[in-house]
Amino acid sequence: MSPAHVGAATHCPYCALQCGMYVTREPGAGDGAVTVTPRQDVPANEGALCQKGWTAAELLTGGARLTTPLARERRDGPLVPVTWDDALDRVAAGVRAIQERHGADAVAVFGGGGLTNEKAYQLGKFARVALRTSQIDYNGRFCMSSAAAAAGRAFGMDRGLPFPITDLAGAEAVLLAGGNVAETMPPFMRHLRGALIVADPRETRTARRAALHLRLAPGTDLALALGLLHIAITEGYADEPYIAARTTGFEAVRASVATWWPERAERVTGVPVADLREAVRLLGTARTAVILTGRGAEQHAKGVDTVTAFIDLALALGLPGRAGSGYGCLTGQGNGQGGREHGQKADQLPGYRRIDDQAARAHVARVWGVDPAELPGPGRSAYELLDALGTPGGPKGLLVFGSNPVVSAPRSGHVAGRLAALDLLVVSDLVLSETAAMADVVLPTTQWAEEHGTMTNLEGRVLLRRQALAPPPGVRGDLEILADLAARLGRPGFSGDAGVVFDELRRASAGGIADYAGITYERIAAETGVFWPAPSEDHPGTPRPFLDRFPTPDGRARFVPVDYRPPAEEVDDDYPYYLTTGRVLAQYQSGAQTRRIHALNDAAPGPYAELHPGLAARLGVSTGDMVRVESRRGATEAVARVSAAIRHDTIFMPFHWEGVNRLTNPALDPVSRMPEFKVCAVRVRRPDAPGGSEGERGRRP
């Protein structure tokens, strides 16, 4: 490709790999054809893209794009075009009216893990300074919160991969628990060159490429980790010198797993003892090894303990903090790492500071120019916030940026009902998502290639998203929207310029765990990203933060004993099958973007239910027939896909379409407040068979 056609160097709009790409408008195309081509200089993808990345340009020119604000002239009326001044005035007036009547916490904010660092930071500041509300959380609570909590208490820091992704190529063995990277982030597979062990109830694309597949029952990941840890300790694989030199708490963990002999682990998980021993042998005899967890292990009401058990296994084997080895978590959303570092989360301030820490409050308040006493305390977590909407004592207004909870939240029919009960729902989005369609005011916003800002990928590498194209006339960026709303609410001083906001973020994060003080746009561009923490501009960044010591008070990693408990909802005679959910290659998250791209819809046109041949035979269904899947919370219908890749007691459904999350269980982890997306009890039948009740579904008038 000639230099004239290279275009702007930026990053993919989807997952946390943040693959590098060039975005180019074809010469003479005017407002027409836009192409993407992969970059070779970004280590995460090294010139590769997945199907979603290759087709991402269609997002920029598709006909579904919102280009004007929309509002309802009356509560039961349709959304109609309005001016920006009218739309923002309506929002500001609605916010003031609700807060004057019910108090500051009566207006809430819900953000997204795909927002740039600048947007995530400004959204958190807007909530606490302009709205003065504690009620802010984001959809990343549904993604990374369990792994973040577990890593924080073990290592003193949550960074998805505490080493560059390229280190994986040297790992002789990799255990991947609950991840299907061959579909969710295909370029990641090029970094896995050693013996791959996959723990998953399904024979996924990733599992088919593994040396060993541990096909466990849904909801038993914690038992699997405890069984593996027992074998590692009792069969001589524990690295005693490492444990003595770099950790604390091992003896308590040794005692806690004494009863998790292999035969017990087999009974609970369904994984044969021989496979459990082989997995430990592969990890324990490798010169370098890595343990990775994904959403399959984490999205449970015991997700923090599950990740903790896998971290305990990694520590027992002497992996974290050693070159070429370690533990890591596969961040999912595009800015899932950065999005949780700078204030979108209910209990956090910028720099990964705790909002209930007085020193942290004082530091951030100085940057924001407010009295620390003005800053609210912790608010509700994501599902608890959504569940409280419109209830007595709960928020009466909600502003949504970069999220689609009508599709993505657990027990989504109930969540839609709570949204319908609000006095004011405002959504900023680039398309009319299912959530935006319920709103009182919809604000059309810029998307990935039309804006400048930073993203932090799964390695903790801060990357530069460069503007490649001008947004359509009538479209504004979220930073500008928030600045305009803050001014209307009597809180000026918010900037709509990404560079200005990033410089403020740097000051606010200085001295925190996620310290960006030394990161500048110029450095990122020159170095193809900078690893945090980087406390000064002459600091090289920190690609491997655990090599010399862990960021704990004594510099040691902490073993934490955990106990097994079963899924929050077990199968029974009424609901005899497990449901597990996940992603497919051609779609992404709630599908608000990918379901509007023709090639991706051709590849994955709609929801399906994957059934074992034995179950399909009992139901009398074949691939292509419709089936109805019901849980205690709701029901949905999907096309049957008969496959021996699924366990006989399990049904798999991808969650990119409305309806699937009507079934899922909002039981929450006591630490992370992560819902139990990955397992619940269901029954399945042909739609014309008797039985079952309609799922919950709220509709906006």
Question: Residue 679 belongs to a domain with what CATH number?
Answer: 2.40.40.20
DSSP percent split of the chain into helix, strand, coil, nearest 5: 35, 20, 45
Whether the per-residue pLDDT at 692 is higher than 60: the answer is no
In a domain, 41, yes or no: no
Q: Are 631 and 679 within one domain?
A: yes
In the block, residue with structure tokens 């909870």: 405
The reply to whether 551 falls in a domain is: no
Query: Where does residue 572 fall: left (phi above 0), alpha (psi -120 to 50 degrees), or beta otherwise?
Result: beta
Mark whether 122 and 193 lie in a shared domain.
Answer: no
How many residues would you count in the chain?
Answer: 701
CA distance 526 to 197: 37
Separation CA 195–CA 290 (nearest Å): 11
- Assess if residue 274 is contained within a domain: yes
Question: Contacts from 189-194 at CB under 8 Å and sequence distance 24+?
Answer: 190/46, 190/48, 191/165, 191/166, 192/168, 193/168, 193/169, 194/286, 194/288, 194/289
Measured CA to CA, the distance from residue 190 to residue 218 in angstroms comes to: 28
Specify if 413 maps to a domain: yes
**What's the pLDDT at 30?**
55
118 closest CA partner among 527, 376, 452: 452
CB count within 10 Å of CB 507 equals: 17
DSSP H/E element including 224: helix 221-234
Residues 205, 128, single domain; the answer is no
Vertex 139 angle, CA 388 and 62, to 5° = 120
How many Å separate Cα 288 from the centre of its chain?
28
| Residues 492, 455 share a domain | yes
Are residues 10 and 21 in contact, defined by beta-carbon separation less than 8 angstroms? yes
> How far is it, in rounded angstroms, from Cα 45 to Cα 181?
13
**Distance, C-alpha 83 to centroid of its chain:** 34
In this model, does residue 234 exceed pLDDT 80?
Answer: yes
Beta bridge partners of 650: 578
Residues 500 and 368 occupy one common structural domain: yes
| Element housing 289 (H / E) | strand 289-293
The backbone torsions φ and ψ at residue 201, rounded to the nearest 5 degrees and listed phi first, read -65, -20
CATH code for position 441: 3.40.50.740
**CATH classification at residue 233:** 3.40.228.10
pLDDT one-digit tens code per residue, 355-404: 999 999 999 999 999 999 999 999 999 999 999 999 999 999 999 999 99
Q: Average of pLDDT values for 559-564?
A: 98
| pLDDT of 482 over the 70 cut | yes
Please check whether residues 621 and 678 belong to one and the same domain: yes
Of 477, 504, 531, the last residue of a domain is 531
pTM score, two decimals? 0.95
pLDDT at 61 over 90: no
For 522-559, the DSSP string reads HHHHHHT-EESP--STTS---S-TTSS--SSTTS-EE-
Least confident of 198-207, 328-337, 410-419, 458-467: 328-337
CA 585 to chain centre: 16
Q: Are residues 172 and 222 in the same domain?
A: yes
Q: Cβ(479)–Cβ(497) under 8 Å?
A: yes
Q: What residue numbers bound the domain in which 342 lies? A: 70-142+335-531
Report which residue type is found at 458: L
Residues 440 and 395 in one domain: yes
Cα–Cα distance measured from residue 292 to residue 325, given in angstroms and rounded to the nearest whole number: 11
Q: Is residue 595 part of a domain?
A: yes
Q: Looking at 48-52, 72-76, 286-290, 503-507, which range is the least confident one?
A: 72-76
* Confidence at 228, pLDDT banded by 50, 70, 90: very high
* pLDDT interval class at 62 (50, 70, 90): confident
Flag whether 397 is in a domain: yes
For residue 409, count other CB atoms closer than 10 A to its CB.
Answer: 30
Q: Is the pLDDT of residue 4 over 50?
A: no
User: Are 210 and 192 in contact, with CB atoms under 8 Å apart?
Assistant: no
> What mean pLDDT do residues 6-31 have?
85
CB burial of residue 553 (10 Å; 0-12, 13-18, 19+) = exposed
- Report how many domains make up the chain: 3
* pLDDT average, residue stretch 202-219: 97
Helices (H), 235-352: 240-246, 250-256, 262-269, 273-285, 295-298, 303-316, 336-339
Task: Please write the tens of the pLDDT for every residue from 628-680.
Answer: 999 999 999 999 999 999 999 999 999 999 999 999 999 999 999 999 999 99
- Could you give the angle at the alpha carbon of 673 between the alpha carbons of 668 and 674, nearest 5°? 75
The per-residue pLDDT for 28 is 60
Residue 699 has pLDDT above 70, yes or no: no
Torsions phi, psi for 644 (to 5 deg): -75, 0
Contact 137, 123 (CB under 8 A): no
**Cα–Cα distance between 170 and 172 in angstroms, integer?**
6
Residue at 386: amino acid letter: L
| Mean pLDDT within 536-543 | 98
- The pLDDT assigned to 25 comes to 84
Q: For residue 143, what are its two tokens? A: 């993604």
What value does the mean pLDDT take over residues 457-474? 95
- The answer on pLDDT for 695 being more than 90 is no
Question: How far is C-alpha 112 from the chain's CA centre?
Answer: 9
Let me know if residue 30 belongs to a domain.
no
User: Domain ends where: 279, 307, 334?
Assistant: 334
Give CA–CA dist 280/229, Å, rounded.
8
CA distance 182 to 184: 6
pLDDT at residue 239, rounded to an integer:
98
The mean predicted confidence, pLDDT, of the chain is 95
Mean pLDDT of 567-576: 97
Where residue 498 falls (left for φ over 0; alpha for ψ -120 to 50; beta otherwise) is: alpha
- What does the alpha-carbon distance between residue 439 and residue 424 come to, in Å, rounded to a whole number? 8
Instruction: Report DSSP state, residue 287.
Output: S
Mean pLDDT lowest among 46-60, 409-423, 687-701:
687-701
Please identify, among 531, 546, 565, the residue that sits at the C-terminal boundary of a domain.
Answer: 531
Residue 88 exposure: Cα atoms within 13 Å on the Cβ side: 16
Between β-strands 453-456 and 461-465, what pairing exists: parallel, antiparallel or unpaired?
antiparallel
Q: Which helix (H) or strand (E) holds 504?
A: helix 498-509
pLDDT of 351 above 70? yes
- Give the pLDDT mean for 462-482: 96
pLDDT in tens, 284-328: 999 999 999 999 999 999 999 999 999 999 999 999 999 999 999
Residue 111 and residue 114: Cα distance in Å, rounded?
A: 9
Tokens of 252: 């308590």
Identity of the residue numbered 570: E
What would the two tokens of residue 219 be?
């909801």
Same domain, 381 and 508: yes
221 domain residue, yes or no: yes
Tell me, yes or no, whether 186 and 299 share the same domain. Answer: yes
What is the distance between the alpha carbons of residues 686 and 557, in angstroms, rounded to a whole number? 52
pLDDT at 41 over 80: yes
pLDDT at 3 over 60: no
Q: How far apart are CA 351 and CA 349, in angstroms?
A: 7
Do 302 and 253 sit in the same domain of this protein? yes
Do 179 and 134 fall within a single domain?
A: no
Asked whether the predicted pLDDT for residue 544 surpasses 80, the reply is yes
pLDDT attached to residue 75: 82
Residue 222 has pLDDT above 50, yes or no: yes
Q: What is the pLDDT of residue 135?
A: 98
Does pLDDT of 86 surpass 50?
yes
**Structure confidence at residue 26 as a pLDDT band (50, 70, 90):** confident
Please say if the pLDDT value at position 491 is more than 80: yes
SS3 assignment, position 498: helix
The residue-averaged pLDDT of 111-138 equals 98
Phi-psi sector, 383: left (phi>0), alpha (psi -120 to 50), beta: alpha
Token pair in block for residue 530:
């900078």
The letter for the amino acid at 308 is T
